[in-house]
């Protein structure tokens, strides 16, 4: 299962558990185990490097899980659970870009000051006229 461009984990490292789904479904819900939970043990993984393991464990913990009980089909719920697991792992592995501090341009500063002057004039005009006018 591909997580990011450079990272893929084998499905053998993902534990899939099924159980009965909650909610409505009539008699069908009482006999089928359509809820699927996908669990990935980060610490025991052979596919991730030590640095990747540390990053994932710091963000989401030593075990990453995702469940799906959206549909009546166990196969579709399995796909959904694996996709949710993939998305959680991709988010945990992503390295945020460093923010480069920027300064407002001269024109932006002028626009801001002009807007402040305009607002000040508007509020000044709303005031009750003073007695010395």
Q: Are 69 and 79 in contact (CB under 8 A)?
A: no
Q: What is the pTM of this model?
A: 0.70
Q: Are 37 and 45 in contact (CB under 8 A)?
A: no
Per-position pLDDT tens, the chain of length 133? 888 888 889 989 999 999 888 766 666 666 778 899 999 999 888 888 899 999 999 999 999 999 998 888 889 999 999 999 999 999 999 888 999 999 999 999 999 999 999 999 999 999 988 887 5
Q: Which domains does the chain have, with CATH numbers?
A: 11-93 (3.30.160.20)
Angle at 115 between CA 109 and CA 117, to 5 degrees: 105
Q: Are 67 and 110 in contact (CB under 8 A)?
A: no
């Amino acid at each position: 299962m591909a997580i990011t461009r450079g990272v893929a984990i084998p499905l053998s490292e993902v534990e899939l558990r099924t159980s009965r789904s909650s909610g409505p479904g009539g008699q069908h819900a009482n006999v089928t185990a359509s809820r699927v939970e996908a669990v990935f043990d980060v610490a025991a993984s052979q596919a991730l490097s030590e640095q990747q393991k540390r990053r994932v464990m710091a963000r989401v913990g030593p075990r990453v899980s995702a469940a799906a009980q959206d549909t009546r089909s166990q196969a579709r719920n399995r796909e959904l659970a694996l996709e949710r697991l993939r998305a959680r792992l991709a988010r945990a592995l992503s390295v945020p870009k460093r923010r480069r501090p920027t300064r407002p341009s001269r024109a932006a500063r002028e626009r801001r000051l002009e807007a402040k002057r305009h607002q000040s004039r508007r509020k000044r005009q709303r005031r009750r006229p003073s007695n010395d006018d």
